[in-house]
Amino acid sequence: MNRSRNFTLKKALVVVLLGVLAVLTLLVVAPDGKAIPAFSRKYGTSCTTCHSNYPELNDFGEAFKKNGFKFPKDDETFVKQDPVMLGSKAQKEAFPEAVYPGQIPGTIPISFRYSGFFNWNAHQPTAAVQPNGPYPFVARTDLFAPNTFTIISAGSFGDNLSFWIDDDISTGGSGAAGGLGDGYLKYNDLGRFFHLPTNALNVRFGQFELDLPFTQARTIYLSDFDIYDQVSVAANGGTTNNPFSLGAPQRAIEFGGYPNNGNFAWSVAIVNGANDSPALRGQKDVYARVSYKFNLERDPESRHAIQAAGPTGPRDHTSIRVGGFYYYGTNVQNNGSTIPVPFPGGLSVKEPFYRVGGDLRFKYRKLELLGLGMVGHDSNHAFDTEALTFTGIHPVTFTGGFVAGNYWFYPWLIGTMRYDFVNSPSDFQNGISEHRTRNRVSPGFQILVRANVKIAGEYQYHWAQPVTPLDPATTFFRPHTFVTGIDYSF
Amino acid sequence: MKSTNLTTKAIFLSVTVLLAAGSSFAGDIKGKVSVQGLKSAANIAVYVDTIPDKKFDAPSQHVVVDQKKMEFIPRVVVVLQGTTVDFTNSDPVGHNVYWPSISGNKKLTHNLGTWPKGEKKSFQFNDPGVASLLCNVHPEMSGYIIVATTPYFAITDKDGNYEIKNVPAGKYTLKAWSEDGKPVTQAVEVSASGATADLTVKK
């Protein structure tokens, strides 16, 4: 056992050293990265204007995004590619006798993003990969998996309309998911018609990641937040089988705002729900979030500027952002239709559920700390197969969250560390984990070889999973993973 | 005694006339810079190199370099050693100006910090050489300050033409600096009618 462990450690060390060598080579010999995404092209500016570590946004990037993908002030003076006017500005006065004038980007705002990673996985016990073993075979190493190619298009249609579309178009190949991620249209400052402060009320509709405290779709980390992916499945004969996960994109209509582009933000979304499959129900879910950023800059001028005035250049504000979120929905099972139904007799059961949590983000110079905690609660029932009745029983609940820290050693070298935890009694009862709480530690690194080219790595120290079904002789193993690879956009 | 005084006066008068004549022997150095392998012959600095045993007082008037629409304006500027440059910000975003070195000497690196629209920061350039101006948050911004040891310099126009005015007669070394090309050195002799010096800058 010790010899095997030493051998695997040596292999891991070799992989790391090879990776470091590759990075150093790329830093030195990689050609000048002239390739730039759509916004860089539009404004003729580097990715680092908006991104501290793409796709993570700095303060200016957040202001840019909030302003409908336009520079927060005097946008027109910065645009290097003139838009195509779909009517002169004077047409506004002619409305409604004329179509209200708008504009489209001067060039098609398309960007591409590729990511391909090398995986090193811990050795699976023999019992796990036997023909009747509980887990599928996982190769020790896998080059460029997942291997993803995404097309992104975003921009503005004039003063108040903006759009975003991203689609993973790599529908084949290893690890490819395929399909639309976000696709939405947003109207900024709808509230001005009601004499509300600037950007107090905006609306967007389509499919998009909800206004989560920390984005998963555009995270810098190589692995999802475990708590976001947590679903509720009942154990011990319960009916709960809810595919909803907070991190998945949702079809929704969202109202939200940040009055006067200040530190308070709110959003309420009407969500279609049941994201994994068509919603076999009429009712909709709802999601709400509020947050407040405490700007801790002492200098008043710096505090009110989009970015703080640092001694070596503009930087993000020192700040603490706190927030809370709440999702309420109903999972309907057995509602007819053509899918196989788990409960005979044409019955259906509605199982309301909620997710509620709070978050905190602290920024200070080169350090960023994140934290989130969440509670999940699903109604649960027992189904009497003879009486064909549902009886309410103990709900399915879980708690969990994560804490993380990122540190910019250099503008191009970022260290990351994350601790995920999920406490799910039903997961334990279903034999998914050794304990009620799954913990995971994920140290990592990110290297910006160029502003649009990144080498990233992450070691995921996983919770123990049972190799054999839970009984006195159950053994466990930890499916640790080391992921490293490349990511570039243009 | 009387003849000695006359001689002295004649010598003095002659020297005075000669000095005055010497100072009026100043012309313009004109020419055209051609490029090989470069996109443009514009914004190339042409200047007279150090004149032995000759020092020039720095001008009292400051030179202005603005930051507007995420660009340094002017992009290339030549100043006499000791000149103070005012860096202004005409953009509605915070900018900063720094240079990592002056002609490769990293000890001469300097960062002026961050300032908003309407404000300026100044710096007196006392060390000759080339300072590459950068902005910490907008890495595409680029500018250059060439600190010369003589006040005889010019920047080429879009066609590569330049004109350095009022250069005293004499023999000098002319230098050309460009962003992407190799430095060029050429001897030039200026007469009362000036001089013509065409240069070729190669990548």
Q: What is the model's pLDDT at position A230?
A: 94
pLDDT of residue A431: 80
Residue A28: the pLDDT is: 40
Question: By CA distance, what is B98's nearest residue in A?
Answer: A312
Tokens of A185: 């249209």
Contacts of B96 in chain A (CB under 8 A): 310, 312-314
When pLDDT is averaged across residues B104-131 and rounded to a whole number, the result is: 94
pLDDT given for residue A346 in this prediction: 62
Domain identity same for B126 and B70? yes
Question: What is the predicted pLDDT for the residue at A179?
Answer: 81
* B93/A311 touch (CB, cutoff 8 Å), yes or no: no
Q: Are residues B65 and B100 in the same domain?
A: yes
A303 neighbourhood in chain B, CB within 8 Å: none
Q: Flag whether B83 is in a domain.
A: yes
| Residue of A58, A60, A56, A36 lying closest to A47 (CA atoms) | A36
Q: Are residues B144 and B74 in the same domain?
A: yes
Mutation to test the B interface, candidates A47, A52, A81, A315, most B Cβ within 10 Å: A315
Last residue of a domain, one of B131, B148, B165: B148
Subunit contact B114:A46, Cβ cutoff 8 A: no
Angstroms from B149 CA to nearest CA on chain A: 29
Looking at residue B183, what is its pLDDT?
Answer: 95
No. of H helices and E strands in chain B?
A: 1, 17
Among the listed residues B189, B176, B197, B143, the one whose alpha carbon sits nearest the alpha carbon of residue B47 = B176
Q: Is residue B114 part of a domain?
A: yes
In chain B, the residue whose alpha carbon lies closest to the alpha carbon of A74 is B92
- Nearest CB neighbour to B96, from listed A45, A314, A451: A314
Residue numbers in A near B69 (CB within 8 A):
77-78
The shortest CB-CB distance from B136 to any of A73, A308, A312 is to: A312
The count of domains in chain B is 2
Which of these, A11, A271, A314, A328, lies nearest to A141 by C-alpha position?
Answer: A11
For B115, the closest chain A residue by CA position comes to A309
Residue whose C-alpha is closest to residue A162's, from A98, A219, A205: A205
Q: Which residue has the higher pLDDT, A479 or B188?
A: B188
CA distance to partner chain B, nearest, from residue A75 (Å): 10
Q: What is the pLDDT of residue B5?
A: 67
Taking CB atoms and an 8 Å cutoff, what residues of chain A touch B95? Answer: 314
Q: What is the SS3 assignment for B13?
A: helix
The values of phi and psi at residue B56, to 5°, are -120, 140
Region B84-102 average pLDDT: 93
Of B70, B137, B139, Cβ closest to residue A78:
B70
Residues B129 and B180 in one domain: no
Residue A387 pLDDT: 80
Indicate whether B11 belongs to any domain: no
Q: What is the pLDDT of residues B123-146, one digit of tens each?
A: 999 999 999 998 887 888 889 999
Query: For position A475, what pLDDT does the model report?
Result: 79
Q: How far B84 CA sits from the closest chain A CA (Å)?
A: 20
pLDDT of B17 over the 90 cut? no
Distance of CA A173 to the CA centre of its chain: 23
Task: Give the pLDDT of residue B107.
Answer: 93
| Euclidean distance between CA atoms B168 and A141, whole angstroms | 75
Pair (B141, B90) in one structural domain: yes
Same-domain status, B82 and B162: no
What's the pLDDT at A274? 67
Residues of chain A with pLDDT under 50: 1-4, 7, 15, 21-36, 173-176, 275-277, 279, 336-339
Q: Are residues B90 and B138 in the same domain?
A: yes
What pLDDT was estimated at residue A10? Answer: 57
**Residue at B8 is within a domain:** no
**Residue B56, SS3?**
coil
Q: How confident is the model at residue B7 (pLDDT cuts 50, 70, 90)?
A: low
Where a domain ends, among B110, B128, B148?
B148
Final residue belonging to a domain, choices B148, B163, B193: B148
The Cα A36–Cα A488 span in angstroms is 10
* Cβ-nearest to B137 among A301, A305, A314: A314
Asked if B136's CB is within 8 angstroms of A44's CB, the reply is: no
A309 vs B94: CB contact, 8 Å cut-off? yes
CA atoms within 13 A on the CB side of A74: 10
- Which tens digit of pLDDT belongs to each residue from B34-87? 999 888 999 999 999 999 999 999 999 999 999 999 999 999 999 999 999 999
CATH code, domain with B29: 2.60.40.1120
Are B89 and B139 part of one and the same domain? yes
- The average confidence (pLDDT) of chain B is 89
pLDDT at A160: 92
Angstroms from A333 CA to nearest CA on chain B = 53
Domain around B99:
57-148
Residue A337: per-residue pLDDT: 45
Size of interface A-B (CB pairs under 8 A): 66
Tell me whether residue B1 is in a domain: no
Q: B45 and B85 share a domain?
A: no
The answer for residues whose C-beta is within 8 angstroms of residue A97's C-beta and 6 or more apart is none
> CATH number for the domain including B88?
2.60.40.420
Looking at the structure, tell me whether residues B62 and B117 fall in a common domain.
yes
Q: How confident is the model at residue B97 (pLDDT cuts 50, 70, 90)?
A: very high
Q: Among all residues of chain B, which has the CA nearest to that of A61? A: B137
Residue at B71 is within a domain: yes
ipTM of the complex: 0.72
B131 and B166 part of one domain? no
The full 3-state SS of chain A, as one line of letters, equals CHHHHHHHHHHHHHHHHHHHHHHHHHHHHCCCCCCCCHHHHHHCCCHHHCEEECCEECHHHHHHHHCCCCCCCCHHHHCCCCCEEECCCCHHHHCCCCCCCEEECCCCCEEEEEEEEEEEECCCCHHHHCCCCCCCCCCCEECCCCEEEEEEEEEECCCCEEEEEEEECCCCCCCCCCEEEEEEEEECCHHHHHCCCCCCCEEEEEEECCCCCCCCCCCCCCCCCHHHHCCEECCCCECCEECCCCCCCEEEEEEEECHHHCCEEEEEEEECCCCCCCCCCCCCEEEEEEEEEEECCCCHHHHHCCCEEECCEEECCCEEEEEEEEEEEEEEECCCCCCCCCCCCCCCEEEEEEEEEEEEEEEECCEEEEEEEEEEEEEEEEEECCCCEEEEEEEEEEEEEEEEEEEEEECCEEEEEEEEEEECHHHHHCCCCCCCEEEEEEEEEEEEEECCEEEEEEEEECCCEECCCCCCCCCEECCCEEEEEEEEEC
- The answer to the question of residue B19 being in a domain is no
- What amino acid occupies position A367? L
Asked whether the predicted pLDDT for residue B118 surpasses 70, the reply is yes
Are the Cβ atoms of A313 and B111 closer than 8 angstroms? Answer: yes
Residues of chain A contacting residue B92, judged by C-beta atoms under 8 Å apart: 73-74
Contact A307 B93 (CB under 8 A): yes
pLDDT at site A443: 98
Beta-bridged to residue B45, according to DSSP, are B155, B177
pLDDT of A216:
93
In a domain, residue B3? The reply is no
C-alpha torsion sign, points A232, A236, A239, A241: positive
Same domain for B70 and B122, yes or no, is yes
